[in-house]
Structure 1
Amino acid sequence: MDNARPHISKKSSEKLKDLGIELEPHPPYSPDLAPSDYHVFRSMQSFSVGKKFKDRAENASKNISVNETV
């Protein structure tokens, strides 16, 4: 890593702020790890532990319902 600052457009930053969206920074030196790996997907994993799904469609629909509640 070169420790360069990310390129963030002022216009984009202002729009996100107007929409009430808070950005989560990536962990330092780990650009391929997103904060969602620790929050969203952990919630889905906790919800799915011990559950059996008949097929991929059922699994997908269960994951969508979890995402809507997170």
Structure 2
Amino acid sequence: MAADVTTKGLSLLLKLSPEKAEILAESAARSGRSKTREALVRLEDSLESVTDLASPGLRFPVIAINKE
């Protein structure tokens, strides 16, 4: 679930290639979200599901950590 944008957090300024910007715009249109919300949802999902990103396309799975 995307974070509540009214709470304190980190603001980022991103520069996407035209190709990636188009992918983001198409995805946002399909989901009915704004491009900003779509980027936030995708970033949060990636951070939850990928522990490390060695390089584009080379990902390491999240190792379950006991969160007590």
In the superposition, the TM-score normalised over structure 2's length comes to 0.27
- Which structure is higher in helix share? 1
- Which structure is higher in strand share? 2
In the superposition, the TM-score normalised over structure 1's length comes to 0.27
